[in-house]
Amino acid sequence: LKIMLVAQDVTDREGIVRLEEANGYKSLLMSTVAHELRTPLNAIIAMLECLNSELGEPRASELVRPALDSSKLLTHLVNDLLDYGQIAAAKLTLVFQRVDLRLAVAETLTLLSAQAGKRGLQLLVNVENEVPELWCTDPNRLRQIIVNIVGNSLKFTKKGSITVEIKLLHPKCVRFFVRDTGIGIKEQDLPRLFQTFVKLDSKESLRLNSQGTGLGLMISQQLALLLGPNDNDGIHVESEFGVGTAFSFLLENKKPMEEED
């Protein structure tokens, strides 16, 4: 008679389960807090904008403007935290619809043109003639990616230009490029670029991006994975320190929501 005893150490497995549960609660808490903060912040911004337009006096406007800018910055952070919580909980929803791709890009860059002008930078766009007029994607999430990448280039470009380019790879896929003539990124820093809450710690980077949270590019990376083909790697980065940086990502022509089974 032979008796075989089998022992299995479940300590690690139980620890993993507890960590997953804790991470889920953390994401839920973050999303809930961010959602609750967004409504009063929007009200504060609306009231400050009204106050700024009513006062009219330069001195009064100087006092209101910092509060308004700070409120908008905080709202942007809250929105990033809300997206981060949804991504972590795998609850981020996309709405695919047909849009005029050229118009969508032009309208997005219009939002950034004033900032580029203040910095004395050229903001250029080049769309290949072969790119179809209509494209099916989530326009709000595409806008978010472009704003994050171009906005990042604006922070780190002292002179020159930022160029957005769209090339057709095949009828179902285009590649977006964002090229800048900024300070560039050191090769050893590239792997850290899309990590959560990570900011490049060179003195120049910290000086130019003192208020960044390290969430924008991470969120854009996750959105690029969702808007591109199933086997895509998200945002690709090439950079030469002191010369400039080129970001690129794929955008697939998706199926409209109303046509899905």
Instruction: Please report the pLDDT score of residue 260 as a whole number.
Output: 57
Place of tokens 């949270």: 213
Angle at 258 between CA 254 and CA 261, to 5 degrees: 85
Predicted confidence (pLDDT) per residue in 85-131, tens digit = 777 777 788 999 999 999 999 999 988 888 899 899 999 999 999 99
Q: pTM value? A: 0.76
Phi-psi region of 216 (alpha: psi -120 to 50; beta: other; left: phi over 0): alpha
Q: Is 183 helix (H, G, I), strand (E, B) or coil?
A: coil
Tokens of 52: 């700024």
Predicted confidence (pLDDT) per residue in 141-154, tens digit = 999 999 999 999 99
| Cα separations in angstroms, 101 against 137, 138, 241 | 9, 11, 32
Instruction: Please report the pLDDT score of residue 4 as a whole number.
Output: 55
Could you say which DSSP state residue 133 is in?
S
* φ, ψ dihedrals at 13, nearest 5°: -65, -45
Strands 173-180 and 134-137: unpaired
Q: Is residue 212 packed enough to be buried (19+ CB in 10 Å), middle (13-18) or exposed (0-12)?
A: middle
Instruction: Please report the pLDDT score of residue 35 as a whole number.
Output: 66
Strands 161-170 and 122-127: parallel
Q: Report the DSSP beta bridge partners of residue 177.
A: 165, 248
Place of tokens 């903060």: 37
Kindly give the parts of the chain with pLDDT less than 70: 1-13, 15-31, 33-35, 56, 197-214, 258-261
Report how far apart the first and last C-alpha atoms of the chain are (Å, whole number).
60
Tokens of 49: 């904008």
Instruction: Please report the pLDDT score of residue 149 as a whole number.
Output: 94
Instruction: Please report the pLDDT score of residue 1 as a whole number.
Output: 47
